[in-house]
Structure 1
């Protein structure tokens, strides 16, 4: 059977009375309606949960991938070792996750979603909390928990005993019944939990805006003063002024580390700590403390964390005139778990030519034809330096900033032996090696240790802590507070009082049997 057509219909109304919208689809939303729909979607609980999940997911790269504002050296090393992924991660902002635009967008959308979700629910909750308990239903027998009995007591006496027994409930007395309700704080617990998430986000945001984070490498015996120029990396908050840095200083007195000497984890650093002599001001008394991983030093609202360590070979370089052009420790950054470390030595004051060295330090030197030089153990049992030497112009006078951990060889020439072969500096502790062409010498005096410290100030930390406490309180309230309703109805029949008791547990898995039975027991007349 074929469907009729309306080819001759000139009224513009389709067959069977269908409107044109059903054939072409729903009419597009007006701009105002579209904005209203978008707002409802953004402020829904489902969207808030999705954004919260995305925020947690987005924080994973910040914990796995080295961050520029936390450890620039480690981030640079990661870039060198992953030349394919590094450009991609750079474009995605994965080396500075918490400063990236996409992370900030998720953060702001989550805050807006939570505010838009909490405010309407709060209004609904306040109306419900201020309202009286619901009136007694006409047919109490339909409720999950229902009991009935008769007694010789008067109706008013029964209702008075019921009101006294329902202590802790909000009771509304009627002529022949009463309504009781409790558990209003359950929804308050839910609202408090959602509000606490917002408070935690505000705490983290205020810490990022008003606080700062800086990294500094200090060699044993070295000192640090809390001024911006002393930091190797300094990441202030958007609203933080460098002038607000608290005046404190400290000196690294010693560094202790224990390496595992047996088992599969041999050579791993088991425990390390640094000794600090610190002052909270120029006229303050000097104090001593030790810091370990996850046990920072708190100074006037700032915290000093121990996050890494390594070796700083101590060398002396004499120039072609026999004068000491450089002497002191040089930080070499670890490359692997055996603390094979790489670094550069720049000697701009050498004469007649500036000198530069680039190479590796081995705490416990080893060598095989298959692997070449390597470090057999992370502790400094047999330290050695292997360097390539350069002479010429270090480029430090060109006005272009240079990293202290990289050597610009554009204006330098690598030194070679008289036979034209590559010259290599190979030194054990206490040894001196002359440079070709009378350019001087280099001496390996010994080994110092350095520590990588992170100094940070987070004024929003207490706000985030408060949010966590409120979250726990709200979660406990929403889990253990049960909203319940109980009704007691009385009527006189045949000279006796018929009493009906019913209860409703509004939470899933609730059981009012015992509570209703106890109430019935307290209302029944006492038998002689």
Structure 2
């Protein structure tokens, strides 16, 4: 058991790098940034599996050794205990003088047997005398605890190897189809087969968020979703809340976060629409002050907008622009307009929420309220119009086959 405790401590220590460094299965873009910013250090970090901690040989070795140590300790003890507990107490010896503590009594065996049974002893009576035992229940609790720990480890291991977790941002009015390409982040287990993903479609029909007017804390999140098992079936209306997920077989769909997608229209100098639609922005605080990027590769030269969105716009000398409330009371979009190569054809994956402006030229800076337009460039290059804003929700899909085992443990 001492070895198991040491291995449990080592497992906790081995988990620390997984929280300090981005993991390839969860944040591949951040891992790529490490290689771009400091390729030599990142190369050595990758050799030690610091970007894939939970799938590394050394982490797996500790986990497996802990599992083997527990089994090697608990299973023999359980077997020995079961044999002892199920067998009758040993036949009493002919003489008690071999025992360190003994006492003679003038009472009868019948009275002794009655007293022992009354006090919950297991009693065996032979011609030579009576043998009695008790105290097994204490060891029972100890063994059940350690057996439950083994079951929990089995459940966690099964979920890690055969399960998956994925996240996707879905703007209200859009739909999510459960295929790998629909996810923003997908972390499958080592032996998870994407062919086993249950087919389903979730359309975000409406989203309502209620907040306390004084504390600005969320009171309720309610997603009205149209759900179907395939694109050919008629959808069924269902309500999703934070603790009320959708269930598809052994997969669950959780409502995890929310934000806003500004509705924008970008036109060139001739008035031709080059981009139109919602653009999800990432919240930066509890009041949903958000940042994002609008990329228009169809314009010549290409145009990118580095932007901030504030649902309830406010401003002070210290923070500059910010949102003072997490709902659409006075929405405003601040845009910085950049002209040049967006590098979308370079073949290198890039974040949809950021723009590399190192080789671009800024040609405009402005703030827009709903219904307003801004003409950028000198001479004129084009215009951007803020048409409104719609909420988006972050859906987390979890397949956790080991959860029943972990809960049973």
1:369 to partner: Cα distance: 4.1
TM-score normalized by the length of structure 1: 0.67
Residue in structure 2 matched with residue 424 of structure 1 by the alignment: 365
Q: Is the Cα contact below 8 Å between 1:361 and 1:385 reproduced in 2?
A: yes
Return the alpha-carbon distance in structure 2 between the equivalents of residues 442 and 239 of structure 1: 47
Q: 2:327 aligns with which of 350, 368, 379?
A: 379
1:448 equivalent to 2:390? Answer: yes
Residue in structure 2 matched with residue 281 of structure 1 by the alignment: 230
Residue in structure 1 matched with residue 212 of structure 2 by the alignment: 260
1:425 to partner: Cα distance: 2.4
Residue in structure 1 matched with residue 347 of structure 2 by the alignment: 399
1:166 to partner: Cα distance: 6.5
The more displaced of 334-343 and 217-226 is 334-343
Q: In the TM superposition, what are the counterparts of 1:56-455 in structure 2 within 5 Å?
A: 98-99=54-55, 103-129=59-85, 131-136=87-92, 138-139=95-96, 148-150=105-107, 158=110, 162=114, 165=117, 170-184=122-136, 186-262=138-214, 266-350=215-299, 352-415=300-363, 423-436=364-377, 437-455=379-397
Q: Is the Cα contact below 8 Å between 2:293 and 2:354 reproduced in 1?
A: yes
Q: Which of the pair has more CA radius of gyration? A: 1
Return the alpha-carbon distance in structure 2 between the equivalents of residues 96 and 307 of structure 1: 24
Q: Deviations over 1:378-422 (max 9, x none)?
A: 22211111111112322222222222112133553221xxxxxxx
The more displaced of 312-321 and 113-122 is 113-122
Where 2:152 maps in the other structure, the secondary structure is helix
Could you list the structure 1 runs, at least 4 aligned residues long, displaced by more than 6 angstroms after superposition: 60-68, 90-96, 142-147
Q: In the TM superposition, what are the counterparts of 1:454-469 in structure 2 within 5 Å?
A: 454-467=396-409
Return the alpha-carbon distance in structure 1 between the equivalents of residues 400 and 91 of structure 2: 53
Return the alpha-carbon distance in structure 1 between the equivalents of residues 138 and 203 of structure 2: 53
Q: Is the Cα contact below 8 Å between 2:373 and 2:383 reproduced in 1?
A: yes
1:214 to partner: Cα distance: 0.6
Structure 1: gaps of 5 or more residues = 1-44, 416-422, 468-528
- Relative to structure 1, the CA distance from residue 308 to residue 100 in structure 2 (aligned partners, 3 Å threshold; closer, same or farther) is farther
TM-score normalized by the length of structure 2: 0.84
1:149 to partner: Cα distance: 4.2
Q: How many residues align?
A: 398
Where 2:60 maps in the other structure, the secondary structure is helix
Q: Is the Cα contact below 8 Å between 1:431 and 1:444 reproduced in 2?
A: yes
Q: Deviations over 1:247-298 (max 9, x none)?
A: 1111011111122222xxx223233222211112345452222222233221
Q: Deviations over 1:282-330 (max 9, x none)?
A: 4545222222223322122211112211111110000123111111111
Q: Is the Cα contact below 8 Å between 2:25 and 2:188 reproduced in 1?
A: no
1:48 equivalent to 2:11? Answer: no
Q: What is the alpha-carbon root mean square deviation over aligned residues?
A: 3.5
Q: Deviations over 1:99-127 (max 9, x none)?
A: 45554343222102101212332343244
